[in-house]
């Protein structure tokens, strides 16, 4: 009976390790997708014109 319990424990441990590995891979994939989306979003914001101060009025205007 004890070898059967040890075998069942080993199989259970392997199942937990497999689940943890798959979860870690999934989370890392989601984080990478979010990082890449953020990088592409920042590329789009670089197209927004910067504001420059008008020397006559002192107001900031695009340009």
User: pLDDT tens digits for the chain (63 residues)?
Assistant: 689 999 999 999 999 999 999 999 999 999 999 998 887 766 666 677 788 898 888 898 887
pTM, whole model, 2 decimals?
Answer: 0.57
**Which DSSP category does 56 fall into?**
T
Distance between CA atoms of 15 and 52, rounded to whole angstroms?
Answer: 61
**Degrees (nearest 5) of the Cα angle 38, 25, 30?**
20
pLDDT at residue 46 in the model? 64
- In angstroms, the CA 63 to CA 50 distance is 6
For residues 32 and 29, what is the distance between their CA atoms, to the nearest angstrom?
5
pLDDT of residue 17: 98
The answer to whether residues 61 and 51 touch, using CB atoms and an 8 Å cutoff, is yes
């Amino acid at each position: 009976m004890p070898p059967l319990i040890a075998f069942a424990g080993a199989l259970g441990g392997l199942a937990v390790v497999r689940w943890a590995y798959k979860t870690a891979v999934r989370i890392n994939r989601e984080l990478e997708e979010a990082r890449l989306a953020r990088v592409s979003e920042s590329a789009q914001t670089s197209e927004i014109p910067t504001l420059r101060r008008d020397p006559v009025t002192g107001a900031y205007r695009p340009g």
